[in-house]
Each structure stands twice: as C-alpha cells, then as structure tokens.
Amino acid sequence: MAPQSLVNWFRARYAELGITGASSHSGRRTFITQSARAITKVGGSLRDVQELAGHRALTTTERYIQGDRDAQRKLIKLI
C-alpha cells in the first residue's frame, strides 16, 4: 500500500466512525506514548518501544512520546 493510500484509508475509517481531528499518524503517536509509559511495568525499556516502532534511533521514538504533567508532579513528590 502506498503511503498516501494508507492516509486516505485511515481518513475514511475515522470519518465512518465520526472521529474528528485524528490522522493516520495519531494512532501511532498514541501507541508509542502509551507503550513508553507502561514498558517498565513489564520489565522493558524505551529501547523495546523503539524496536516496536521500527525506529533506527531512540531520538526518533522520543519525538513521539508526549509528556504528562500530572505524572511529572507525582514523580517529584516521590523524590
């Protein structure tokens, strides 16, 4: 499947479901962010998330991970 075909496929599925503001890439960002937050619970590391995402460099994976201010505050309180 060509990249643009995949974008169009996702756009059509989101439209069918009435989902607005989503893109072909938003699911990927969500998967990577949620994986990064949960990976230590199963004994893994960000390197495992990188491999699942198919990225050559961890810095690429890092760009997909969204921060969580509430989690940051809780972490600081623990320290």
The span from the CA of 70 to the CA of 7, in Å, is 32
- Return the closest-CA partner of residue 65 out of 42, 32, 39: 32
Contact 23, 10 (CB under 8 A): yes
Q: Is the pLDDT of residue 6 over 90?
A: no
Q: What is the pLDDT of residue 3?
A: 79
More confident residue, 23 or 62: 62
Under the banding of pLDDT at 50, 70 and 90, the label for residue 63 is very high
pTM: predicted TM-score of the whole model, two decimal places: 0.71
Q: 8-58: per-residue pLDDT in tens? A: 898 899 999 999 888 878 888 999 999 999 999 999 999 999 999 999 999
At 56 the pLDDT is 96
